[in-house]
Chain A
Amino acid sequence: MSARDEILARVRGATADVVTTPADRAPTAVVEETSPGRAATLDLFAENVADYRAQVVRVAASGVAGAVADALRQQGCATAVLPTGLDPAWRGAATEVVRVLDEADVRVDAELDAVDAVVTAAAVGIAVTGTVVLDHAADQGRRALTLVPDVHVCVVRAGQVVHDVPEAVGRLRPEPGLARPLTWVSGPSATSDIELERVEGVHGPRTLVVVLVDEEV
């Protein structure tokens, strides 16, 4: 008997006492953390992202390009890699401050090690946990882009911010056959492995700047 068949036979033997089937299961229980209102959710998002010692900049839609340029300048970056589908206005702003490489120009991931920063959009923001979720669409680039450079400037639109984790999981449900890779980012990389003392910055970007676009204001 193949390992597959043997394991499945063992598992079925072990659960021979179960009389129900998967079809009998009720819909998944959703335990929500209720939003106190849109404005409060956005404030909570900003507060919780900052609590991880990430930098949060809140701007109106017209101020995004300026905020991106400011962030790159303040971090002292000389080079930045940009995803192919990034908003042209943000790209223009970055080009004035740093030497810009396009995602397509950096074919080998190891070359990203020499790049200072990356600027991306995002897919979802989660207020309760201060999380930014990337689904690596064209305005975010492949996963290596937001991993190897040491500075990540991430633009999140207010309309992308949800209140809690179940709402985010609902929005991110993959289309059948069209699943995207997801990266959930909550602050910069961190470790508490030595005496439980939190240290920011191990392998991922050590600096995370979140530009929150208050479109609704």
Chain B
Amino acid sequence: MTTTTPGPVQQTSLVFVGMPKFPTAAREALANTQQRRNLRHATHTIRDKRARVVAEVPEWEALRVAGAEAKDEALAHLGDYLEQLEASLTANGATVHWARDAAEANAIVLGIVRDQQVDEVVKVKSMATQEIELNEALEAAGVNAWETDLAELIVQLGHDRPSHILVPAIHRNRSEVRDIFRREMAAVGRPAPEDLTDEPARLAEAARLHLREKFLRAKVAVSGANFAVAETGTLVVVESEGNGRMCLTLPETLVTVVGIEKVLPRWDDLAPMLQLLPRSSTGERMNPYTTMWSGAHDGDGPQDVHVVLLDNGRSHVLADRVGRQALRCIRCSACLNVCPVYERTGGHAYGSVYPGPIGAVLNPQLRGTTSEVDKSLPYASSLCGACFDACPVRIDIPELLVELRGRVVEQEGRTAESAAMAAAAWVLSDPKRLAAAQRAATTAGRVIGGRTVRAVPGLGAWTDARDVPTPPTETFRQWWARERGQGSR
């Protein structure tokens, strides 16, 4: 891909260092039949809801174009808009911090927490803080970070990892959730009710009771933001449960970690985004709650307001003229829900907090293609194109996957595959050589008969995940000569 001056890539965090390549991790996930049932049910439910509410909007394509245009404009002049955002936020009474990477961002947040002399924070679900592993950093420093989104709470109490951008506990079913609540809630606060059943309404009620004391007590909250408007210095959090409103309203100090690609140039750009995001994400006309705040508001909500602008590999992606479109992503997760690969493997195999099709293009760009998992992610797709059709900001994920495959191949140099392709070119370029090769193949076919070929020595990488087609006993040319030979022509 063509680049200008790239910034440094993101360091792979400790949680994901040494992740096996995608097919290896996926094999483990595929063997978990409970998880496959949960995933199939969840992805189909949400994709049907999305399809219904998108069909209500006749101008959907025009909206997608408007959404892509707003994000492209922000990215094209990102330096200018970041400076404008900083000025607007500062004028609104917020303190702006800049973080080159995860370690710097975590240190900034920890510094603010220490200034308040507290040992706990409440958190709104945020992809950026998951990416930098803020919870782990805070815990290492003796600060409890309480996740307050229901799914994040399930993941945190289950000592588990999120597997979906929107519904991180999508891989768990109701009885697993009940067991986690019964077992774990008491150790960190108000215990689960004795008679807790696995009804979702009862489980949500248990979370409400467990978290309420934390909301009312916490002095510091940490959030991300879905959008940051440069023109007005407005931050936006889109949510469903009200845990976001609790965190953004009740504590005295609020720290918001925002990836630099979250900037929107103008206030008016919020319109297409709020038309696109809820329908794409949860399949609703509008999500239950959206909070917008512009710095500190006198007498209402946190008075000590901080914003951390995070790079962490984003400027590296921005330098790639084709790849930069991945930074338009508004984390709706529509591409996950329609992906035939994600539906079967789940999110953990992607080795990152960003799973699914968008993860398959974002991670190798953010982190580079040196690790086993990042090298394999561009191949974690059938290139069916469903992700592009579902993307509300028109990220051409299949195009990026193919580009990234090219990059991995170039970087790897001569491989068994490139040698095989070269040999095939030599055979195919001459009819005599082709006929000889085909005769050799049918000999193999007659030997094998109707049996399935599970593996071929030397083709390990290919036959790892696929059966080899049984070679035919006769070539097309031989069949033609026999059936429609000289006489019948």
Residue ranges of A at the interface with B (Cβ–Cβ < 8 Å): 2-4, 6-8, 10-18, 20-22, 25, 28-33, 48, 52, 109-110, 113, 126, 128-131, 136, 142-144, 147, 164-166, 169-170, 173-174, 177, 179-197, 199, 201-205
Known contacts A173-B267, A202-B204, A204-B241; A189 and B321 CB within 8 A of each other: no
Taking a contact as CB atoms under 8 Å apart, the answer to whether A179 and B242 are in contact is no
Taking a contact as CB atoms under 8 Å apart, the answer to whether A128 and B289 are in contact is no
Stretch binding the partner chain, chosen from B92-100, B378-386, B431-439, B455-463: B92-100
A41 vs B91: C-alpha distance when bound (angstroms): 38
What residues of A have a CB within 8 angstroms of the CB of B290 in the complex? 182-184
Chain B interface main SS type: helix
Task: Find the residue from B45, B62, B78, B97 having the highest chain A CB count within 10 A.
Answer: B78
Taking a contact as CB atoms under 8 Å apart, the answer to whether B240 and A192 are in contact is yes
Known contacts A3-B99, A143-B245, A165-B271; A52 and B288 CB within 8 A of each other: yes
Task: Find the residue from B274, B286, B299 having the highest chain A CB count within 10 A.
Answer: B286
A64 vs B385: C-alpha distance when bound (angstroms): 53
What residues of B have a CB within 8 angstroms of the CB of A202 in the complex? 150, 204, 207-208, 240-243
What are 28 A-B pairs with beta-carbon distances under 8 A?
Answer: A3-B97, A13-B319, A14-B316, A15-B319, A18-B76, A30-B271, A31-B275, A110-B217, A143-B291, A144-B301, A165-B274, A181-B292, A181-B293, A181-B300, A184-B286, A186-B284, A187-B288, A191-B150, A193-B154, A193-B167, A194-B150, A194-B154, A195-B173, A196-B41, A196-B42, A196-B46, A203-B243, A203-B245
Taking a contact as CB atoms under 8 Å apart, the answer to whether A179 and B294 are in contact is yes
What residues of B have a CB within 8 angstroms of the CB of A201 in the complex? 201, 204-205, 208
Taking a contact as CB atoms under 8 Å apart, the answer to whether A144 and B216 are in contact is no
Stretch binding the partner chain, chosen from B1-9, B354-362, B420-428: B1-9
Known contacts A29-B69, A181-B293; A15 and B266 CB within 8 A of each other: no
What residues of B have a CB within 8 angstroms of the CB of A142 in the complex? 299-301
Instruction: Please tell me which one of the listed residues B172, B211, B217, B285 contacts residue A48 in the complex, with CB atoms under 8 A apart.
Output: B285
Chain A interface main SS type: loop
Closest B residue to A201 using CB positions: B204
Known contacts A179-B295, A182-B291, A194-B177; A11 and B260 CB within 8 A of each other: yes
What residues of B have a CB within 8 angstroms of the CB of A195 in the complex? 38, 41-42, 173-174, 200
Residue ranges of B at the interface with A (Cβ–Cβ < 8 Å): 4-7, 38, 41-42, 45-46, 57, 59, 62-63, 65-66, 69-70, 73, 75-83, 86, 91-92, 97-100, 104, 148-151, 154, 167, 169-170, 172-174, 177, 200-201, 203-205, 207-208, 211-212, 215-217, 232-234, 240-243, 245-246, 249-250, 260, 265-272, 274-275, 278, 282, 284-295, 297, 299-301, 309, 311, 315-316, 318-319, 321, 324
Task: Find the residue from A14, A110, A174, A197 having the highest chain B CB count within 10 A.
Answer: A14
A22 vs B78: C-alpha distance when bound (angstroms): 10
Known A189-B240, A192-B240, A201-B208; further 11 A-B contacts with Cβ < 8 A? A3-B97, A3-B104, A7-B7, A7-B309, A109-B216, A130-B285, A165-B286, A169-B274, A170-B271, A196-B42, A201-B205
